[in-house]
Amino acid sequence: MRAFTVMFGRPAAMAASVGLAILFLSAGWTALPTRNAPSTLAYRLPDGDPAAGDEGMPVFVLRPDHSTLRAGVARMQTGGRIDVTLYDPSDPELTQESEGLLFNADLRVMWLLATDEERAALRRGIEKLGVGLRDAIDAVLRSPEFNDEYRSVLKDVGRQAIDTAWHHPGTKAAYDELVRSAEPVLREAIGRDLRGIVMKRAEPMVWDMLSANVGSVLKLFQDQPWNLTPVEQALEGIQRDVREQGLVEKTTQRILDSWQAKAFMQTFANNAMDAAVRDPRMRDAVHRLLTDQRLGAYLTPASQPANELARLAPQILFGVHPQSDLNALAAYIFRGFITGRPGQLVILTSPRQRDQILALDRFAPRPLLYGVPQ
Amino acid sequence: MTTMNNALEIAGLGIRRPTGAVLVRDATFTIKPAEIVLLVGPSGSGKSTIVKLLGGLLETGPGGWGVTGRLTCGDRKLDLESERSHVGGIVFQDHALFNDLSALENLRIAADHAGRPPAPALLADATALLGDIGVHKTVASCSGGQRQRLAIARTLLADRPVLLFDEPNSGLDVRMARRLGELIRDLCVGMGKPALIVAHHVKDLLPVADRVLLLDTRSRRLVEVPKDADAIEAELMKLDSGSAASTGTAQIDTAAPQNGKDRRNPWPSSIGHRSRLYWFGRYMAEYFWELCVSPLMLIYMGAGALIMGFVSMWFGFHYNSFGGYLKSLLHDETLVGLGLVQGTVAVPLISSILFVARNNAIIAADIGNRVLSSQFKAMDNLGITARTYIYSAILINMVMGALMLLVLSLGVAGWSSMQTWHLQFPQQNFELWREHFFQKLILEGGHVTPRMGWVLLKVGLSALLAGAAAIVIGGGRKESVLEINAAIARSIIIGVTLTLLVHAVISVLTL
């Protein structure tokens, strides 16, 4: 610096210092966040919302290629008004994007914002995985290793669990309740529907019985059995009528539709599962099953679709790939997912994009109406 | 010329080194007003120690020099064993000019710290020597002779009753040494002040001396010897076994004052009077410039912050877990974390280290140079409170500068981070970066996070401790430039280590 001072003098050095200090402070000033900027857009919820939000919501703009760009901050005001402060109101991407949609920040948003091709690709991946899983499970269940070592144990466990659940007091109480609730249904079915069928068949049966046994009536003291064929025919006819009229199915359906039936089934299933899980043989079998390297070979049908889906889903939904620019929407949703505080977000779209999204899902996005900025 | 009629009387003077060795035993002498006494003796015999004693620079007391005897000068009577003498104004062998001040300021500071404002006659007498020296000339641009006359003028302005010259002819050729002798003669006679000249080579000064005292290194007594050059040389030869080293000559000019006397002398009117606060401000400004805001310092700190901002943002996003795969997903939290770390840990630390490393080198060199060139001694002799001015100016500027440059560094690093981020995410708006980067630094309502209080504490405290270390290291005994170099290196290492420790401790405590 002495050389500088010698060459240009102390005043020049001081001027250089002042210039540098101003330059540095200006650079720092440009980096500071803009606070309390006035809102540039306003929307409102159609059904209103009395609560004002404490925290700002991010605002994104949906571009024609279905990528999103962070465009500003929105704040929920009392009465459902949403004030939006755009980072750059003169951004040309915003001039055509004026329709607002309010979302809860969850994976559904990513699904809705994906292109048709991306959604189709995801569906294909999920289907492939489903097929692969079925094949893999079938292969495991058919494998000699499973049949030799696991099947009998698991069957025993299952039987034991059903037995335990059946004798469980809760199951018994639920079953009794079901039976009590079924009696009126059965009485009604027998008294009304079955009676009509029986009566229809009973009258010809009497005449058939009489005509078939008329000889026997006359030989009163002969020791001959009655000809019961008409009875058998009448019973067959009743059974046929019952079957043809669906009487059993209807009655069963009525019983099964009752809440007592549901309660019984739930109680029974819960108790059976609890009993199975508590069974140490089950724990041991499952542990061995999961760590049995011999069974790994049977899972091959599922592994490739699973890998493909694991690679595809983050790429499509979160835009995760090595050279990706920022997907601020995915980052926000991911943060909400991790922290357990998903929050809400606003996406600005064109009218056509809004209609496409609403066609896919009429409930997840909440269309916003225009409001007046304040 | 001003006249003072105070004789210097020394009775029973004894000086003992801190090691216990006796330097002078029971010396008694008197120097009358306007009388010039030559004090001669072999090298290392202790002549300069007597000058220091009379100038109030000898550290006496427990662990220091041992002194006995009495001093009388006018109405001042001192017991040298317990009281410090300030009767002598010393002209140091190496001039001990304050080379950070201009020629004029060297005189001004001496005049302003004299017991009372110098009388016009004293100003005229003292500055009559300086006719050929420009008022605003820097010390560095003065010739050797001009520096010597500046040093003499500065000592005269301090207005001490006795003039003490420590080997003034050292390095001068015969002609110049005789001129200097005549100059001293004129001053003493004109001002009526007694003068004691310590000299190893007496021949050139003998014509102006009234008496000659020999410090006998065998008997450790002061002995008056005849004004006979040959006799003195013979005595010295006996005492100084062949240590009469030849001296080089300096390119000095003592002829100018006589010419200058004929012209109007601008010096007296330029000296004027200033308060001590002015001098404190003067040193504050000097160190503020050197330690805080010189262009090179700003460029250096700015470059450090620029690189820090780039590195933290570039590598923060490129070399986190899974690299580019997750940089999009983890963007928000990464940015918030980088902002917090950069603002409260990384930039304060790098800023402090750069600041301390550079300034500790400067302080150690500056203080070391002042020690080596006897500037502190000269200040003490002139009654200038060097520690108040220089040490406090350094420490205040260290703290103030560290905080000020921290703000600048944070600004530059922030800007650099923002631009680096935009290189990686070119489609995003800068406001997105601002929103996340400052999320934990600037709270709702625009308030700065309370954590910044700890940041200021660690930056200020580390600068204060490092500055104090540099002062202590630089202010240690210096015998050569090599020792200054070693002090610079030591000062950097200790300063940076202290900085690291302070930052680490406070950062850990405030996690």
Whether B3 has its CB under 8 Å from any CB of chain A: the answer is: no
At residue A223, the pLDDT reads 52
At residue A92, the pLDDT reads 73
- Highest mean pLDDT among A134-138, A262-266, A353-357 belongs to A353-357
Helix axes B47-55, B375-382, angle to 10 degrees: 40
* Mean pLDDT, all residues of chain A: 80
One-letter amino acid for residue B137 of the chain:
K
Contact yes or no for B371/B475 (Cβ under 8 A): yes
Do the chains contact at B417 and A31, CB–CB below 8 Å?
yes
Mean pLDDT of B69-96: 88
Q: Exposed e or buried b for every residue in B466-495, given b needs 16+ CB within 10 A?
A: bbbbbbebbbeebeeeeebebbbebbbebb
* Mean pLDDT, all residues of chain B: 86
Helix axes B144-157, B375-382, angle to 10 degrees: 30
Q: How far is CA A178 from CA A90, A254, B248, B430, in A?
A: 69, 12, 125, 67
Q: Which residues on chain B are in Cβ contact (under 8 Å) with A317?
A: none
Mean pLDDT of B39-68: 87
B269 burial via Cβ count (<10 Å: 0-12, 13-18, 19+): exposed
CATH assignment of B8-271, among 3.40.50.300, 3.90.940.20, 3.20.20.10, 3.40.50.2300: 3.40.50.300
Tell me the C-alpha distance between B111 and B118, whole Å.
6
Interface probe, candidates B329, B332, B342, B418, chain A, greatest A C-beta count within 10 A? B329
The answer to whether the Cα torsion of A272, A273, A274, A276 is positive or negative is positive
Which residues neighbour A96 within 8 Å (Cβ) at sequence distance 6 or greater? A350
Question: In chain B, what are the domain boundaries?
Answer: 8-271, 277-509
Tokens, residue B296:
């090179």
Q: Which of A304, A281, A324, A22 is nearest to B329 (CA)?
A: A324
| pLDDT one-digit tens code per residue, A251-296 | 777 777 778 877 877 888 888 888 887 888 888 888 888 788 888 8
Minimum distance, in Å, between the CA of residue B169 and any CA atom of chain A: 32
CB atoms within 10 A of CB B300: 17
Interface probe, candidates B99, B312, B431, B440, chain A, greatest A C-beta count within 10 A? B431
Q: How far is CA A248 from CA A196, A198, B370, in A?
A: 15, 15, 115
Q: What angle do CA B494, B487, B346 make, to 5 degrees?
A: 30
At residue B47, the pLDDT reads 86
Tell me the C-alpha distance between A316 and A303, whole Å.
20
Question: For chain B, what percent of residues have pLDDT higher than 90?
Answer: 45
DSSP 8-state assignment for residue B141: G
Whether A337 has its CB under 8 Å from any CB of chain B: the answer is: no
Tokens, residue A199:
């009566």
The answer to whether the Cα torsion of B477, B483, B487, B490 is positive or negative is negative
Do the chains contact at A327 and B302, CB–CB below 8 Å?
no
At residue A67, the pLDDT reads 83
pLDDT value at A233 more than 50: yes
| pLDDT one-digit tens code per residue, B426-437 | 888 899 999 899
Q: According to the 3-state scheme, what is the secondary structure of B457-502?
A: HHHHHHHHHHHHHHHHHHCCCCCCHHHHHHHHHHHHHHHHHHHHHH
Q: What angle do CA A126, A127, A128 make, to 5 degrees?
A: 90
pLDDT value at B251 more than 90: no
Q: Which of B303, B198, B187, B330 is nearest to A332 (CA)?
A: B330
A97 or B147: whose pLDDT is higher?
B147
Q: Which residues on chain A are in Cβ contact (under 8 Å) with B365?
A: none
Mean pLDDT of B146-151: 87
Which helix (H) or strand (E) segment holds residue B13: the answer is strand B8-16
pLDDT value at A228 more than 70: no
Which residues neighbour B21 within 8 Å (Cβ) at sequence distance 6 or greater? none
At residue B257, the pLDDT reads 47
Mean pLDDT of B502-508: 94
Interface probe, candidates B296, B433, B443, chain A, greatest A C-beta count within 10 A? B296
Please tell me whether the interface predicted TM-score (ipTM) of this complex is above 0.85: no
Minimum distance, in Å, between the CA of residue B499 and any CA atom of chain A: 24
Minimal Cα distance from B290: which residue of A? A1
Whether A92 has its CB under 8 Å from any CB of chain B: the answer is: no
CA dihedral B421→B424→B427→B429, nearest 10 degrees, is: -10
| pLDDT one-digit tens code per residue, B419-474 | 999 998 888 889 999 989 998 898 877 788 888 999 999 999 999 999 999 999 99
Do the chains contact at B429 and A87, CB–CB below 8 Å?
yes
Mean pLDDT of B48-53: 90
Question: For chain A, what percent of residues have pLDDT higher than 90?
Answer: 7
Which residue in the set A35, A72, A318 is minimally distant from B329, CB to CB?
A318
Q: Which residues on chain B are in Cβ contact (under 8 Å) with A71?
A: 429
pLDDT value at B242 more than 60: no
Interface of B with A in 273-312 (CB under 8 A): 293-299, 302
Which residue in the set B302, B328, B415 is minimally distant from A331, CB to CB?
B328
Mean pLDDT of B29-50: 88
Longest dimension (CA), chain B: 98
DSSP string of B306-367, one letter each residue:
HHHHHHHHHHHHHSSTTTHHHHTTTHHHHHHHHHHHIIIIIHHHHHHHHHHHHHHHHHHHHH
Q: Which residues on chain A are in Cβ contact (under 8 Å) with B423?
A: none
Q: According to the 3-state scheme, what is the secondary structure of chain A?
A: CHHHHHHHHHHHHHHHHHHHHHHHHHHHHHHCCCCCCCCCEEEECCCCCCCCCCCCEEEEEECCCCCEEEEEEEEECCCCEEEEEECCCCCHHHHCCCEEEEEECCHHHHHHHCCHHHHHHHHHHHHHHHHHHHHHHHHHHHCHHHHHHHHHHHHHHHHHHHHHHHCCHHHHHHHHHHHHHHHHHHHHHHHHHHHHHHHHHHHHHHHHHHHHCHHHHHCCCCCCCCCCHHHHHHHHHHHHHHHHHCHHHHHHHHHHHCHHHHHHHHHHHHHHHHHHHHCHHHHHHHHHHHCCHHHHHHHHHHHHHHHHHHHHHHHHHHCCCCCCCCCHHHHHHHHHHHHCCCCEEEEEECHHHHHHHHHHCCCCCEECEECCCC
At residue B250, the pLDDT reads 38
Which residues neighbour A13 within 8 Å (Cβ) at sequence distance 6 or greater? A1, A4, A5, B294, B295
At residue B317, the pLDDT reads 82
Question: For chain A, what percent of residues have pLDDT higher than 70?
Answer: 83
Which residue in the set A36, A322, A330 is minimally distant from B329, CB to CB?
A330
Which residues neighbour A9 within 8 Å (Cβ) at sequence distance 6 or greater? none
Tell me the C-alpha distance between B5 and B10, whole Å.
16
Bridge partners, A211 (sequence order) = none
| pLDDT one-digit tens code per residue, A49-59 | 656 666 789 99
Tell me the C-alpha distance between B132 and B126, whole Å.
14
Tell me the C-alpha distance between B6 and B470, whole Å.
43
Q: How far is CA B468 from CA A310, B196, B373, in A?
A: 61, 38, 21
Do the chains contact at A73 and B435, CB–CB below 8 Å?
yes
Do the chains contact at A321 and B435, CB–CB below 8 Å?
no
| pLDDT one-digit tens code per residue, B287-339 | 999 999 999 999 999 999 999 999 999 888 877 656 566 777 788 888 999 99
Minimal Cα distance from B410: which residue of A? A28
Mean pLDDT of B269-293: 92
Minimum distance, in Å, between the CA of residue B379 and any CA atom of chain A: 25
Tell me the C-alpha distance between B107 and B279, whole Å.
13
B128 burial via Cβ count (<10 Å: 0-12, 13-18, 19+): buried
Q: Identify the residue whose tokens are 């005849």.
A: B226
Whether A321 has its CB under 8 Å from any CB of chain B: the answer is: yes
Tokens, residue B40:
């001669």
At residue A222, the pLDDT reads 46
Do the chains contact at A321 and B414, CB–CB below 8 Å?
no
Minimal Cα distance from B322: which residue of A? A322
At residue B248, the pLDDT reads 35
At residue B498, the pLDDT reads 97
| pLDDT one-digit tens code per residue, B190-208 | 888 899 999 877 888 888 8
Tokens, residue B502:
């302070």
At residue B252, the pLDDT reads 39
